[in-house]
Structure 1
């Protein structure tokens, strides 16, 4: 029986005419020709596998790189930034010798194909990014977008996603402290499952993904490598969904949170004993990514023996081993004299660990299989020098008509009774309704350091028990705003997350982002992307909050139907003492309710226009980032000095939504009066940015007003915390029982 010869480097050089399945692996013809040019020969099957996954959209950012450079070119000066873009996650200094690492990424496409495992492995992957920086993970967040709440497929996808996030995070013992759940028909075939994580370490414990020191050993440790997820996220997230192309729906990775928990503890113990020179997690593109990135970021080359990789399936080919995205795996670079101790620690934690190679003094990544060399590449060409596309982009011809369709012209309530009915309709709408049915499936308080969690404006974690030092994180993004104007929409997402951190009393420090868009091959989508990146880069420069890293998720569309452009922005902040935090809930009757900021007639993309009229058109609210900075400074100072007892930002749903949430969370009503110069409708439903409501103790009113007046921030007394209803004087009264029933019944009735 004849046996197919091993496709070694030598064999590839001798057989230039062998046809390889480059198109099936997602490469374009010119990309394949570029690989041949780089190598000076045809690639081996293993090399083709590596280039195909590493040059995929998901891994290489080939359509977005030219725009993402702005985050570096426009980066603000920041004393807090310790590690920026280019590593597994950004790291910021939060004081007292502590560093915090955080990042947001997407697992959108796998979560549509297999909701539970797609979401679960999204959590697992982002947590490993945090571990790889040298930090102990302390919390996760989950910004989510689904199709229409009453659509049958939402009932398939959402419960599975929520169960996957909760199941994996709860088993890891990580509190879920924040995120969002948004419903919109544009996400019907492309739900967005973004996951974020935060980790804490000392400054001296920061680790980077690099393989340095000739002779140092490369150790693969964690789960065995299987056939699940071969080409998973890397290829699945690099194409538009099309039912005619089942090959674009490969197996989704399967997660094991208990294995990941062992991996965390094992890794942290190895860090504590200073055993690790460099480290990289195995996520998208698996071993192809870990080996090429470690080697290209280091000072030498790398030699790997693929036969030594522990397998769950002995029939896997070398190409499949290199492409597998099996979860709960990491690669460490360890000095030879420390290998024994590293393996002992792995054994202690019941973690499989194998030396699979070593760092060389050359500049090549060489991989062997059954004695033959199947990979011989410059690792930079795999990991960093992939294609760079300057894709054409153009403002879509429908944008003018969309913006001209002004939401301000929609019919408004003509009577107080209509106004009341529309408030109830808004409060009960899926996007504004309570998400308790979802968030109750997550553990918010495991580890005992959670200070604030959903539905607060931002999650907050205590970092140091003795001093009370803590960090807060908020994630926000409004695809409706971004559809109307992607530049402004991105800045509104930044402003809202920045404001949400400040309302809790924390000072915003830095940004991570997850940029979710349709196909980059559509010039209209690329225009949306380019404008959103430009808006976010300009906004971060003005606010002084550097982008530390993030994720781009493209091809979020089914056929010709793209999602709304959805830039999700995460802002991390620091608070000196978590005991001085400010919650959303009204605390005491008799406290005075103040509205901070200016209210204008701004209804484009608003919740009111969506809920009452199913309308999207006009312009989104204007952005004034200097006002956002001033508002944040006032909120932080007032929190620190005890001048306010509760605070809530005004965003989706406007003032009435914020008041209802503060009242229901505190179990205390409010009597409000419409300020001079505003009508009741605009007062309640406008979504003007740069605003918040605060509850001020009467003893602090003069001091609070003096501070706002001295700083030039408009502060208008609009009512008092009182009773068991929300009353708009001269208009209507809604009891807390009525509001609670409307607010809390919607999601369970749709999804339970």
Structure 2
């Protein structure tokens, strides 16, 4: 028997499984108060998925005040759409707008690695489609447990295959990302996905249902039983720790993706936008139709009525609650004027996309959903989509934070002899966190569509937007969770600074930020302290850099039992370049005698460093200092160097320090170099310190004086640190070692194939 609104009114005391669906006692009581009765089964399903942590941000919304407090009118002027929309949109000039967003698909990817990762890519691509843009490229910041752990070997190959399988089938290049290993991610890998798309600025579309009498059309794939509750429930629970590789408790099905259906859906949407026959549009991702209908109605100027039995199904016997909660992939919902419905249907038929009129916009206040003539949902849409619970969770600095900070790396034994330093260069190059990602990236198509300008192993990905002018965008994602663990505020600003710097070293001007904030349980006051510090650090850092946060994602409950992951606020930065032909490559070139200059200050900073982690398994002390004013100067210098042809290569210094930067610059460029260390500073510190705000640049000999004078004039420290030497086929570290490039390459490229090949 279908539970109707009339039945709910007549059976006020009927027991309902609200706790099993994730609602707290007080949340269920609030639903009853809003409706003035008990909810129907379908309404209960809607509120439970929409009020989940993943969909409602109920534990994080209170901290969003930091975004508004630190976004100036000048920063706001760069945005065409921001927080609260499907994705952020920024104006990049010449009439072009770019939309980009970063989201998580963490828990589903642990349960079903291939499909969890694949549908994560599919979901973020649809967010970009919903803004009216053509998706151009994807990126995948990934975090895994210990590289030699059996479960890492279970999830990593499947996740990488899922990212590649879906993105490759869509014909979207994967232009960058991260692969990081740490035991804290054991049992809780992080699968974050970014997509970027472009459109003419006037083609921007938003998710709102306006215009009484306008029709609501569901189009794309049929709705099935896969993903019931899906990410909306999975991402709102902590794994108990005994899920293992087979038996798992109370875990809903992970969505199943079909990239070929989505590929056609992309082209169908773009033609609908060109025809000008879409009033509002929303993708169906987390919470499925519950989300799409309530958010469209909530953002509109009236109500909505939906005839749920018209939804095309691929399973028999589905209840209204199941239809509303299904997270089946490759679906979109549009609001269309009655006069445009026939044209809308013709376009969908042309692309062989199923399209069904399921409702219309009304002049009422409620979202009303019927099932074969019976009303099963009658709710104020804002209470579902935008007025869910909002908690000010308890916040407490972790009891062991002082001890963690006091346990610095100064006590750790350091190499000092040339042989020890040579061995460490090779060991670090071969360490899982620094080794070449080629084994991963070769599974991705990085150059499909012909617009890719830079991709992994470059510091940032770059994609051409305008074929005529060469205008393009660069993107980078970064986060060192160890830095954030030691100091959440500074660690998050270091993530912002590194992503900002990685965009700048390509020759692009950093313009905007997205984020994916991955943390443990919000019910832990220590986790909420980390989160609040991170959000404030990012917001205040963006204000200092003058670039806005355009949107993002919060992912809580990333822990197994009581063990939380390292706090991992992944920061994505987008930059614009007026002509991609003046991009700066990462690998040094083959012109003999080019000068290598080190920009920035090198200090004895090893707290949270890759050396401490890889060699000693140590985490303690304080992270490197961050100087965002210096980062702005550095970006300005790199931009000027790119525009004036003074820089032939640039590579930022981060994990592994100068030694790792030299290894990568030589191997990517396939040339040798001679490096001169400062005789007044410890060679270990010079080679392996992870001080922020540093870049290695190669400049032609004819430009060395001009470039150096520019740095000095802007107060940027610059030191001549070596020369390009393509004849040597080796990296020569003066007075320490000469390491042949083949030996370096064997160390750098052999690790991941040995672990997972």
Query: 2:78 and 2:68 mapped to 1: Cα distance?
Result: 16
- Checking the alignment, whether the CA contact within 8 Å between 1:50 and 1:322 is kept in structure 2 is yes
Q: Deviations over 1:440-490 (max 9, x none)?
A: 000010010100000101000011111110100000011010011111110
Aligned partner of 2:698 in structure 1 is 695
Counterparts of 1:51-90 in structure 2, within 5 Å, are: 51-76=47-72, 77-78=74-75, 79-90=77-88
What SS class does the counterpart of residue 242 from structure 1 fall into?
coil
Aligned partner of 2:490 in structure 1 is 488
Out of 737, 741, 748, the residue aligned to residue 743 of structure 1 is 748
Query: 1:324 and 1:75 mapped to 2: Cα distance?
Result: 37
Query: 1:277 and 1:32 mapped to 2: Cα distance?
Result: 34
What SS class does the counterpart of residue 449 from structure 2 fall into?
coil
What SS class does the counterpart of residue 69 from structure 1 fall into?
helix
Q: Deviations over 1:683-739 (max 9, x none)?
A: 000000000000010000111011111111011001101121111111111110110
Counterparts of 1:236-251 in structure 2, within 5 Å, are: 236-242=234-240, 246=248, 248-251=250-253
Query: 2:647 and 2:273 mapped to 1: Cα distance?
Result: 42
Out of 29, 43, 48, the residue aligned to residue 33 of structure 1 is 29
Query: 1:247 and 1:291 mapped to 2: Cα distance?
Result: 30
- Checking the alignment, whether the CA contact within 8 Å between 2:187 and 2:241 is kept in structure 1 is no
Aligned partner of 1:125 in structure 2 is 123
What SS class does the counterpart of residue 58 from structure 1 fall into?
helix
Aligned partner of 2:447 in structure 1 is 445
CA displacement at 1:611 relative to structure 2 = 1.2
Aligned partner of 2:3 in structure 1 is 7
2:363 aligned with 1:369: no
What SS class does the counterpart of residue 351 from structure 1 fall into?
coil
Stretch moving more, 585-594 or 108-117: 585-594
Counterparts of 1:348-747 in structure 2, within 5 Å, are: 348-587=350-589, 588-722=591-725, 723-747=728-752
Counterparts of 1:111-260 in structure 2, within 5 Å, are: 111-242=109-240, 246=248, 248-260=250-262
Query: 2:531 and 2:720 mapped to 1: Cα distance?
Result: 40
CA displacement at 1:69 relative to structure 2 = 2.5
Query: 1:322 and 1:358 mapped to 2: Cα distance?
Result: 17
CA displacement at 1:420 relative to structure 2 = 0.9
Query: CA distance change for structure 1 residues 330 and 296 in 2, over 3 Å: closer, same or farther?
Result: same
Query: 2:419 and 2:51 mapped to 1: Cα distance?
Result: 59
Query: 1:146 and 1:282 mapped to 2: Cα distance?
Result: 28
Aligned partner of 2:286 in structure 1 is 284
CA displacement at 1:86 relative to structure 2 = 0.8
Structure 1 unpaired stretches of 5+: none
Query: 2:316 and 2:250 mapped to 1: Cα distance?
Result: 25
CA displacement at 1:409 relative to structure 2 = 2.3
- Checking the alignment, whether the CA contact within 8 Å between 1:408 and 1:601 is kept in structure 2 is no
Stretch moving more, 492-501 or 714-723: 714-723
CA displacement at 1:103 relative to structure 2 = 0.2
- Checking the alignment, whether the CA contact within 8 Å between 1:408 and 1:602 is kept in structure 2 is no
Query: 2:257 and 2:592 mapped to 1: Cα distance?
Result: 48
Query: 1:73 and 1:227 mapped to 2: Cα distance?
Result: 43
Q: CA RMSD in A?
A: 0.9
What SS class does the counterpart of residue 467 from structure 2 fall into?
coil
CA displacement at 1:73 relative to structure 2 = 2.1
CA displacement at 1:319 relative to structure 2 = 0.3
Query: CA distance change for structure 1 residues 59 and 131 in 2, over 3 Å: closer, same or farther?
Result: same
Query: 1:469 and 1:69 mapped to 2: Cα distance?
Result: 34
CA displacement at 1:597 relative to structure 2 = 0.3
Query: 2:534 and 2:679 mapped to 1: Cα distance?
Result: 36
Query: CA distance change for structure 1 residues 666 and 244 in 2, over 3 Å: closer, same or farther?
Result: closer
What SS class does the counterpart of residue 178 from structure 1 fall into?
strand
Query: 2:553 and 2:571 mapped to 1: Cα distance?
Result: 11
Query: 1:568 and 1:676 mapped to 2: Cα distance?
Result: 37
Query: 1:447 and 1:619 mapped to 2: Cα distance?
Result: 44
Query: CA distance change for structure 1 residues 400 and 243 in 2, over 3 Å: closer, same or farther?
Result: closer
- Checking the alignment, whether the CA contact within 8 Å between 1:474 and 1:498 is kept in structure 2 is yes
What SS class does the counterpart of residue 278 from structure 2 fall into?
coil
- Checking the alignment, whether the CA contact within 8 Å between 1:672 and 1:719 is kept in structure 2 is yes
- Checking the alignment, whether the CA contact within 8 Å between 2:416 and 2:684 is kept in structure 1 is no
Structure 2 unpaired stretches of 5+: none
Q: Deviations over 1:325-366 (max 9, x none)?
A: 000000000000100110111111110000000000111000
- Checking the alignment, whether the CA contact within 8 Å between 1:236 and 1:248 is kept in structure 2 is no
Query: CA distance change for structure 1 residues 415 and 244 in 2, over 3 Å: closer, same or farther?
Result: closer
Length-normalised TM-score, structure 2? 0.98
- Checking the alignment, whether the CA contact within 8 Å between 2:507 and 2:583 is kept in structure 1 is yes
- Checking the alignment, whether the CA contact within 8 Å between 1:509 and 1:573 is kept in structure 2 is yes
Query: 1:729 and 1:136 mapped to 2: Cα distance?
Result: 50
- Checking the alignment, whether the CA contact within 8 Å between 1:589 and 1:668 is kept in structure 2 is no
Query: 2:241 and 2:3 mapped to 1: Cα distance?
Result: 33
Out of 42, 49, 65, the residue aligned to residue 46 of structure 1 is 42
Query: 1:619 and 1:589 mapped to 2: Cα distance?
Result: 40
Query: 2:303 and 2:516 mapped to 1: Cα distance?
Result: 32
Q: Deviations over 1:591-642 (max 9, x none)?
A: 0000000000000000111111111111000010000000011011101111
Query: CA distance change for structure 1 residues 688 and 355 in 2, over 3 Å: closer, same or farther?
Result: same
- Checking the alignment, whether the CA contact within 8 Å between 2:595 and 2:701 is kept in structure 1 is yes
